[in-house]
């Protein structure tokens, strides 16, 4: 995350990894990762790894809300709006991001959850949501936090009616 969090690694080192498959067979050779760590300020905002459900899906016709889970590559706080022009600091709708640094709740990233409202207008409805995140939550409201300039866009569709069987 650009910050050591008390761990002082600022050099080059090699990491050797030996893998074993599910049948217990080891790889004949080690995998070698040469790593160079240069500690410095974090200048990159959090990236979205994935979401559940994926953008572009449908919600139930009767739903008033639905649950969205996003995973980010680093610890962050995230907010959403239905207006893509609202910046992170001006967004009023927060995700619940309970992970802690070094302890993501998923093996692939840090998790944030929210229940989003569904537009109940008549007919088929597109529901757009725009998400922005700010990394390094331990810095509080500091201007040093990196915030997404471009929002992550999500769209979910509500069908124009209930499914009905005619015959």
- Prediction pTM value: 0.77
**Distance, CA of 135 to CA of 145 (rounded, Å):** 6
Q: pLDDT tens-digit profile of 132-160?
A: 999 999 888 888 899 999 999 999 998 88
pLDDT of residue 36: 77
Q: What is the pLDDT of residue 91?
A: 95
- Residues 99-121: what's their mean pLDDT? 88
List the one residue out of 121, 122, 131, 123 whose CA is nearest residue 155: 131
SS (H, E, C) 47-106: CEEEEECCCCCECCCCCCEEEEEEEECCCEEEEEECCCCCCHHHCCEECECCCECCECCE
pLDDT digits (tens, 9 = 90+) for 1-42: 545 555 666 677 788 888 888 898 988 898 898 877 766 777
Q: Return d(Cα 10, Cα 28) in angstroms, integer.
A: 31
In tens, the pLDDT along 59-87 reads 888 889 999 999 999 999 999 999 999 99
* SS3 state at 139: helix
Asked whether the beta carbons of 79 and 93 are under 8 A apart, the reply is yes
Are 131 and 70 spatial neighbours (Cβ–Cβ below 8 Å)?
Answer: yes
Residue 80 is predicted with a pLDDT of 96
Three-class DSSP category at 26 = strand
């Amino acid at each position: 995350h650009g910050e050591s969090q008390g761990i002082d690694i600022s050099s080059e080192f090699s990491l050797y990894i030996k893998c074993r498959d599910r049948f217990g067979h080891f790889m004949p050779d080690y995998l070698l990762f040469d790593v160079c760590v240069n500690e410095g300020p974090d200048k990159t905002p959090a990236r979205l790894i994935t979401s559940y459900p994926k953008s572009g899906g449908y919600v139930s016709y009767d739903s008033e809300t639905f649950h969205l889970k996003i995973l980010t590559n680093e610890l962050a706080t995230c907010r959403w709006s239905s207006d893509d022009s609202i910046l992170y600091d001006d967004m009023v709708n927060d995700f619940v991001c309970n992970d802690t640094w070094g302890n993501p709740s998923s093996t692939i990233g840090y998790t944030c959850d929210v229940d989003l409202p569904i537009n109940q207008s008549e007919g088929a409805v597109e529901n757009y949501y725009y998400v922005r995140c700010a990394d390094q939550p331990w810095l509080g409201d500091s201007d040093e936090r990196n915030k997404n300039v471009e929002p992550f866009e999500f769209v979910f569709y509500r069908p124009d009616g209930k499914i009905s069987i005619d015959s």
